[in-house]
Structure 1
């Protein structure tokens, strides 16, 4: 539980609210740690306190509300982001841009203002509902809409990151950039999102696949996962020029997971014409970047992306199928921590020692 900004999480007993008709109770087996959780802890994303974070949960359905028919007790599930499933955008198959995305994911309450969690000792309201799950807990209340049934022969405790970070990286390559065999792509930033993008690019046959990061271990891992060329920008005074020597007159696609102005600019500069760059790196809602209009001319595109522009009900099973076929080894990014060491897992993520920490429950 987060009780104070920029403080360690505490492990406390809480009581769950009664399920509403469209809700699902999940016994959490594993929960990935994502950069977005960090932005909540450090106050970049303002939240009411106390709150329970965690938005890459996976586990087993324990109970369902009266109106739920898509999953049943005993089903293995992955929890993804909240969306209403009814607005014009959701109905068009793009739930990541749901008209109610903010209140469903960030406000800490249900739409009716009630909370899903209560303090065990003194009955205080505890703000759950973080991405409609708050899965840094042994049990979580989700909605049927963001609960994705998955096969029960895949290690359930490892699947949570498919609900956000890995979905974001792979989904951006597959759904937004729509990369194809033989097309070149550059990926800037090799955390879980960037490395998921590398794997997705490899799976569809992109070439070349250029990976950029300052961490030599991440560059080595990117090579193992499919990158054909890797660059440490600290060692390349003119990174754009060096990248362009690989695939003149430029690459078909570029992907930014960092979010700083210089990196977004480089994404556009390495493109051929036409070409498409996507940015998912988050440095705060007020994060001014500067580009030259010339980099957008002649058909170049810059897209901002949330959650890989994915429908989790479709993409998550697709990624699991790719993994089972040996084409998407996302488990290589994961290191598990027992739940009682959740603050160690957070520290390992912040320091870059682990690509994708996952806390697991016995």
Structure 2
């Protein structure tokens, strides 16, 4: 008896390798992928503006990196005792205006440099809803920063709007980086505050827009994170208590599918070896002075040193220092 529906996942002809810089941008699900890749020692730049949900915000952010934009005092506003940016997530907000700008512009500079040589761009779209700041001529904002609801108009982007914004951005990206490959995903996180029906309408528009573009360019790919959770797992036991965010089991399953279909086989083998070292690094011994634990540390020190020697592009210095220092 079959308990899960089959899904056809079409990965690229040549998958991701450890030598490929990977740029990630978009919703919170982007960071599930990005954090795992970063943990496994890939070269990663993720969400330089912070978490972004709608395609307009994603496109505006990418264009700012292409243009090498730097932000100034006029780009910030003061609210709730904090200097904030309508273009950025609240992780950049702070009480010191100069420090906020310094952090934003440092992130901008790194993103612009990284994007020029990135091999892969992973875009995860979360919602078709875009919030427009009424007092500034319906200016699209990436984050409302808990400002009063009457400051904004909630706009459901049409499929044509989304396609146009992404299409124009992609052309500019490919002009600046002709070797760039793009992977689109739609986040399986359910925006229930919009309403169940409204969330489904929003996701449907993203899916239609993305597939229109994937069919247009041979360097665009689609990874079905949304379908893997909604149609393959399709059970509330794979969601957190809020019934909106996929839980650890669901996220792990999706990441395993990404690894299988989008990572080169040689890189997959290396990921498994690095994962063993990371697990060992996290091991907390109750009796660290025992011979057994000292042997454990010595064994993983050798494994880590050997892996670093055969793969010099990996930064395993932190893990190597831990195993060496723990031996006393």
> Same fold per TM (> 0.5)?
no
Report TM bin, short chain: under 0.3
Between Structure 1 and Structure 2, the one with more helix by share is 2
TM-score normalised over the length of structure 2: 0.24
Which structure has the greater CA radius of gyration? Answer: 2
TM-score computed with the length of structure 1 as normaliser: 0.23
Relative to its length, the structure with more strand (as a share) is: 1
